[in-house]
Structure 1
């Protein structure tokens, strides 16, 4: 009986020791991951997460790209119907434009990422204990870099988020530094759709073009008019005769250098005659994701082509 009692005592001590080590391990793991965590959101508010989110729902195509870029892809359980990159993201019928709290809750998320707080979605989700991170459209490249870092922090990948921001910034700065510097600023027209909606230099995309000293034909007297997204007329575009035309409506609207050439009077434009109509990927040209580097590189190549032809 004494031997049995001793064995039981040793076993109890062993189990207790293991439990203590496991508890210490969990505590160390929680400390290492940086949780609980409180961050300042882009709107100046505070978001507190008690633990690393393991079930993330993204209702923003740009946020989806960021989540995967910082290494949080395995934590994403659902993305909205417009999140088409990366291709292995768990795309669903969820909508970021008309979000349904009930359908979102079906995925039991511990974090929902959105770019617009439609119908006060964040407050609704908060009532059922679900945290929401709002990442509004970036107004500058620095805003985009800050969001990369923020997404890294809230998902438990702070180093990856900072590295992504630093690396993206360095790549863009190098591309711009290596690009030709035209003696006279080149003019451009950025097309959002075939009804001639465009952007001004006040927008995020407009500021990307400004890195190369390009002059926007849509600026007029007030680049901030119409929220930076005015609708031009064919006559105004023809009159401005831009050196470069960038088409951000190739996927949505089937536009191409060939369709542009067939528009009445457009075959006389400098950009068309010289083959300087550039087809963009609509998604890359409309998101403030890490793939903005691809857009910057495309613009640099276009400037180089014009300068080489000159």
Structure 2
């Protein structure tokens, strides 16, 4: 009888010990290690499920925006190949270029590197997913997304956080972005239509603007501007000089490309256009130039603050977009801000 009780006691102790261990593994181990065991799955912007058996240790990036995000997530050391447009932060220049861009990339180098994960913008899947299928058949997970679209950037950050096993860092970045989105929205949400200045947004060539259905239009709405081309039938129309003159914008915002002249000269060229000399924006000196890098990824808060302050200087008098840009550059990239990204 005593022997039987002893055996039962030993079995009970063993059962309790095993249960405690299993509960510890279930609830505590993922937190301590920071990496969850078992398959992880996210859905990219094309609606494709992307699955890894464990967080990616090696990555090839064919998207400059996602390259920046991977560095901001503290995982830049995992990048083993990049496209030629991925040049920020400077450390990425030490990584080999495996493709000039994401459109029809040569696959030999990528297949040779065999990363756990390849990330790209939507140009990669132009060919009905043939490139994607080739990579996936070789055992390379492919994640496709856009970092210059406000609707996607936070989703992209969250998904990369999962794929890289750094969800906490991803949430930190998302919270940073949302804090400035809330500042903008809180100050413009109650504006009447009559209180929203007329804005002409020009992209990378003369008279190329934005209408409903475009990213630029959404951003103008978000910061409390009234887009003069909102109702045109295509998202990225080419308008006539006469159209802009007739709409008489109060604010002109122009995207600066690398091949454009420097900021002051580009601004002066716009103000010297015959069709624009009589519009309110030129007469009042409200012509502004920005680097498109300000409107993507982690740097997006600095961009929307620039636009918001240009359009509503009185509402954002206390906001310094350059200071925010400096803060995020140091916080997420460990870099002191250099260069000009918005003018004047």
Tell whether the structures are fold-level matches, with TM greater than 0.5.
Answer: yes
Post-superposition offset of 1:187: 0.9
> Is this contact kept in 2: 1:99–1:118, CA < 8 A?
no
2:167 counterpart of 1:158: yes
Gaps of 5+ in 1: 1-23
- Is 1:247 aligned to residue 257 of structure 2? no
Q: Quick check: 1:76 aligned with 2:86?
A: no
Structure 1 counterpart of 2:113, from 107, 111, 130: 107
> Do the aligned residues in 2 keep the contact of 1:149 with 1:164 (CA within 8 Å)?
no
1:218 counterpart = 2:221: no
- Contact 2:117/2:141, CA 8 A, preserved across alignment: yes
For residues 77 and 100 of structure 1, the distance between their equivalents in structure 2, rounded to whole angstroms, comes to 16
Structure 2 match to 1:235: 242
> What's the TM-score, normalizing by structure 2?
0.72
Of residues 121, 126, 132 in structure 2, which corresponds to 1:122?
132
Displacement of 1:65 after TM fit? 1.7
Q: Which moved more, 1:100-109 or 1:209-218?
A: 100-109
The counterpart of 1:131, out of the listed 127, 133, 141, is 141
The 2-side partners of 1:203 and 1:49 are apart by: 33
Change (3 A) 1:93 1:264: farther
Contact 1:194 1:253 in 2 (8 A): no
Off by >6 Å, runs of 4+ in structure 1 = 306-309
TM-aligned CA deviation for residue 137 of structure 1: 6.0
Secondary structure, counterpart of 1:265 in structure 2: helix
Q: Do the aligned partners of residues 76 and 219 (structure 1) sit closer, same or farther apart at CA in structure 2, a change above 3 Å counting?
A: same
Say yes or no: does 1:284 pair with 2:291.
Answer: no
Residue from 307, 310, 314 that aligns with 1:299: 307
CA contact (8 A) 2:208 2:239 kept: yes
SS in 2 for 1:190: strand
Partner of 1:169: 178
TM-score (norm 1): 0.80
TM-aligned CA distance change 1:57 to 1:308, over 3 Å? closer
For residues 103-161 of structure 1, give each alpha carbon's deviation from its aligned partner in whole angstroms, at most 9, with x where no partner exists: 3224332210011213332101012111111114665x342211111111101111111
Q: What is the deviation of 1:177?
A: 2.6
1:49/1:154 contact within 8 Å kept: yes
Q: 1:39 is paired with a residue of what secondary structure?
A: strand
Matched residues in 2 for 1:282 and 1:257: separation?
Answer: 15
Question: How far has the Cα of 1:58 moved from its partner?
Answer: 0.7
The one-character-per-residue Cα deviations of 1:149-188 (angstroms, maximum 9, x if unpaired) are 1111101111111221122111221134346957522111
Q: CA-atom RMSD, angstroms?
A: 2.7
Local SS of the residue matching 2:143:
strand
- Determine the C-alpha separation between the residues in 2 that align with 1:38 and 1:175: 33
Q: Is the 8 A contact 2:58 2:117 kept in 1?
A: yes
Q: Which moved more, 1:169-178 or 1:269-278?
A: 169-178
Of 146-155 and 75-84, more deviation after overlay is shown by: 75-84
Q: Any idea what SS the aligned residue of 1:89 has?
A: helix
Residue of structure 1 in register with 2:324 after alignment: none
